[in-house]
Structure formats: C-alpha cells, structure tokens
Amino acid sequence: MIGCSCAVCTSSDLRNRRRRSSLYVVAANQHIVVDTPPDFRDQVLSFGVERVDAVFLTHPHADHIYGFDDVRRFSTMQQEHIPVYGDPRTIKQMRKKFDYVDRPSYGFESVPRVQFTDLVEPVSLGDVRITPLPVSHGMDKINGFLFEGDGQRLAYIPDCNGIPDETFQCLENLDAMILDGLRPEPHPTHFSTRECVDYLHKIGARQSFITHLTHSSDHHDLQQQLGHGVTVPWDGMEVKL
C-alpha cells in the first residue's frame, strides 16, 4: 500500500509483496493470460512469460486492465493478432480506453495487435475450453473463468461478492479453485476472508486458493490461520495440475 508502513508493507517476506491479481494458464499447448494489471510488464518479466495466445479479461477495473499496452510485445514477437475476450461491457471499455489499438497509422510494433471479441458463451482454443462465470462484484455483473484442458478443471474468480446459482453449478468437480478473499473486514464489492473460505469449502475443489489479498493479511499468519485446506498463494507461484 502506497505510503503505508504497517508490518505487511515493510515485511522482509517476499510473499507479502503483492502485485495486482492476474493468472497465466498453460494447457494443451495454449498460453492464456487472465487480466493485464498495471504491473503486467513487471509480472511477465519477473516470471518468464514468453508467449501469449489469448487474453481473457474479467472486468474493466483499473487494477485489471491498465497494463494492456504491453501485450504489444507478444503480438510483435509472435507476428500475429492476439484474441482478447471479455463480456461486451468490458470490450466496449477496452476499445474506448485503448482507442489507438485500432488505428491503422501505427506500425505493427508500436501498438498491441489484438482482436477484441465479445465473450457471451464458452469458447474453445485448441483443446482448451473456456467458460465465462458471471458473478456479482458490487453493483456490477462481471466474469470469472472456468478452464478445461489436459483433463483438468480450473476456475478463477478474482473479484466477487456473490456467486449466482447458475455459476455455482459450474464449479463442481474442480481440480483447482482460485477465489477472491480480499481482507478480513467486510467489503461492499469483494468477499471477506471468511466468506471466501466458506465458499471454497462449499465448492470443494481438490485444491483451493484465496486471492486478491491486501496488506491486511500477512502471508504466514493467514496461512497458519487457514490451515491445510486453503492455500495462500504468492506472486509467481506455479501450480501443476
């Protein structure tokens, strides 16, 4: 937290130094990024991401999209347009906030070359199937995503304070579930730690993770508190399913 000198912000435990929430999924030869936060460039450099076949966006909040320009390095390296999926409201916002992307006057290397695509139903990229998972995020309806590939099922819902029945039904038989659990105190647009953990237990994935944490949670203390059932991830954590 900018300007904060609390125990977590000044901790020497690197797991307490948190960039904004995002996910990189590699399955069946597809390399998929979920959200491009303001520190997207630092994330991909720090953790050695060298290929992006598609970008999925959960919603157009600043902490999830404002690193988008650096997708251009991937379209340049790969010499192709990269598909970018989001619900229609998100794609509309992206076209507005990154309006230079569609202008033909720029050279191939100077802007992200992407194909903005409205995502309203499941889509398949090679042998990976991606299903949008509508959830409540305060007053907004936004998406999490279900990934199915290599015989595994992973769901990622980073911003959420309510899961409708239709979405909950998609969360059966998961190998991994990653869910918003912002902080111990209640919040109007995010699940608290308790709400998140209750949902993770109800969902019952083979592996459960809490995410979108703030400086209210010390990594070591929170992991001690949650025990074995729920993992507190850290930046750059890799999980093989």
Quick one: which of 1, 45, 237, 239 contacts Zn ion (CB under 5 A)? 1
* 61 touching Zn ion, by CB under 5 A: yes
Quick one: which of 35, 53, 63, 218 contacts Zn ion (CB under 5 A)? 63
Beta strand extents in the chain (DSSP E only): 23-27, 30-34, 54-56, 82-86, 114-118, 123-125, 128-137, 140-149, 152-157, 176-180, 207-211
Q: Which two tokens stand for residue 156?
A: 């990622």
Q: Which stretch binds Zn ion (CB under 5 A): 8-16, 92-100, 122-130, 162-170?
A: 8-16
* 9 touching Zn ion, by CB under 5 A: yes
Please answer whether residues 182 and 192 qualify as being in contact, where contact means their C-beta atoms are separated by less than 8 angstroms.
Answer: yes
* 165 phi and psi angles, rounded to 5 deg: -55, -45
- In order of 39, 101, 105, the CA distances from 20 in angstroms are 7, 23, 32
- C-beta neighbour count of 111 within 10 angstroms: 20
What residues from 92 to 121 belong to the interface with Zn ion (CB under 5 A)? none
Under rule CB under 5 A, how many of the chain's residues touch Zn ion? 8
Quick one: which of 170, 215, 216, 225 contacts Zn ion (CB under 5 A)? 215
Please, which residues have CB within 8 angstroms of residue 183's CB and are 6 or more apart in sequence?
Answer: 190, 192, 193, 213, 214, 216, 217
Work out how close the CB of 110 gets to Zn ion at its nearest, in angstroms, rounded to a whole number: 29
Nearer residue to Zn ion within complex by CB, 16 or 30: 16
Work out how close the CB of 206 gets to Zn ion at its nearest, in angstroms, rounded to a whole number: 25
* 6 touching Zn ion, by CB under 5 A: yes
Using only C-alpha atoms, what is the Rg of the chain?
Answer: 18
Quick one: which of 2, 3, 4, 104 contacts Zn ion (CB under 5 A)? 4
- Look at the block and give the residue holding tokens 């919603």: 59
* 159 touching Zn ion, by CB under 5 A: yes
Q: Which stretch binds Zn ion (CB under 5 A): 80-88, 117-125, 214-222, 225-233?
A: 214-222
Q: Which stretch binds Zn ion (CB under 5 A): 128-136, 201-209, 211-219, 231-239?
A: 211-219
Residues that bind Zn ion (CB under 5 A): 1, 4, 6, 9, 61, 63, 159, 215
